[in-house]
Amino acid sequence: MIKNTNFPKLDMGSPQTLRGKSVAIIGGTGGIGRALSKHFAAYQAKVIVVGQTFRDADVEGIEFIKADLSLMSEARRVAALLPVETLDMLIFTTGIFAAPKRQGTAEGLERDMAVSYLNRLVIMREIAERLGSENTTKTRVFIMGYPGSGKMGTLGDLNAENHYRPMEVHMNTVAGNEIMVLDGANNHKNISVFGLNPGLIKTNIRSNFLGGNKLLFRLLETIIGIFTSTAEQYAKVITPLLISPQLDDYSGTLFNNKCRAIKPSKGIIDSHHMQLFINQSWSLIDAASKKQK
């Protein structure tokens, strides 16, 4: 992650301005998304969270849409349920880590690609044109992942059918999400699109990577927890950036966990590479959709 030292210092927004704002967090039921949803609700935003397990039924201001976003059919259903015309913010935090052995979804997709990246593409394609169409300000879309990692993605076998290497698969989801930001900012001038890299935070994300080894998972997350911020601390730090009055002037920017702009990964900004990556991603989604019928 290389800081973009030429980026201007933005005025931070006051959390009080969240009152009455309409926010959807895809992946807002756990980890960082959940911390954001609770923080926003505490400032009286109207929050919709999408995920598999709702843990905040007792929190006022948070509504729940249950969905298994490993399935593209579910991503389409969620897209149809969201109040897209009036959303102020849409945040993608759904994610897992590729397992030691390849896992496939019922639609034939590699599971990490489906959950951490492809469903986001589907949702965005379904709603991007309508986002915020009844608002006076642009909808802000935040795509969380690990942008600026330096990885541009390995083309040719995005579904990992020929060779399965968990880290390579996961880095393809990372590249896909970074491309979504850069391409989305170019192609959708009606909205603002940003990438968020939260750095290491103790959550559930690595449980799948360790193949269900609970002891190792707890040990790793305890160590991460000692040295890094909690999801709640991150939510508190990043919120003023998400509501900065100047942010819409910088659509396409990637930010680290200190609200500093970071440079895109070398190679990713090549428009030919981006297009190939997106085309190959859509081939997978189309094949998955046919399988489902």
Please state, in angstroms and rounded to a whole number, the distance separating the CA atoms of residues 43 and 45. 6
Number of residues lying near ligand NAP (CB under 6 A): 28
Least spacing, CB of residue 24 vs ligand NAP, in Å: 13
Question: What track of x and - describes contact with ligand NAP for positions 26 through 55 (by CB under 6 A)?
Answer: -x-xxxxx-----------------xxx--
Please state, in angstroms and rounded to a whole number, the distance separating the CA atoms of residues 293 and 69. 17
Residue 73 vs residues 11, 114, 242: alpha-carbon distances, Å:
40, 11, 30
131-170: contacts with ligand NAP (CB under 6 A): 144-146
Which is nearer to ligand NAP, 170 or 188 (by Cβ)? 170
Residue 95 binding ligand NAP, by CB under 6 A: yes
- DSSP, res 175: H
Please state, in angstroms and rounded to a whole number, the distance separating the CA atoms of residues 21 and 47. 8
Residue 279 vs residues 20, 76, 235, 273: alpha-carbon distances, Å:
38, 19, 34, 10
Which is nearer to ligand NAP, 1 or 12 (by Cβ)? 1
Please state, in angstroms and rounded to a whole number, the distance separating the CA atoms of residues 131 and 153. 28
- Give which of 101, 99, 140 is closest to 239, Cα–Cα: 140
- Among all residues, whose Cβ is closest to ligand NAP? 31
Question: What track of x and - describes contact with ligand NAP for positions 192 through 221 (by CB under 6 A)?
Answer: ------x-xx-xxx----------------
Least spacing, CB of residue 189 vs ligand NAP, in Å: 25
For 75, the 3-state DSSP assignment is helix
46-51 vs 254-255, strand pairing mode: unpaired
Least spacing, CB of residue 26 vs ligand NAP, in Å: 8
Which is nearer to ligand NAP, 94 or 239 (by Cβ)? 94
Question: What track of x and - describes contact with ligand NAP for positions 52 through 91 (by CB under 6 A)?
Answer: xx-------------xxxx---------------------
State the residues that interact with ligand NAP by CB under 6 A: 27, 29-33, 51-53, 67-70, 93-96, 115-116, 144-146, 198, 200-201, 203-205
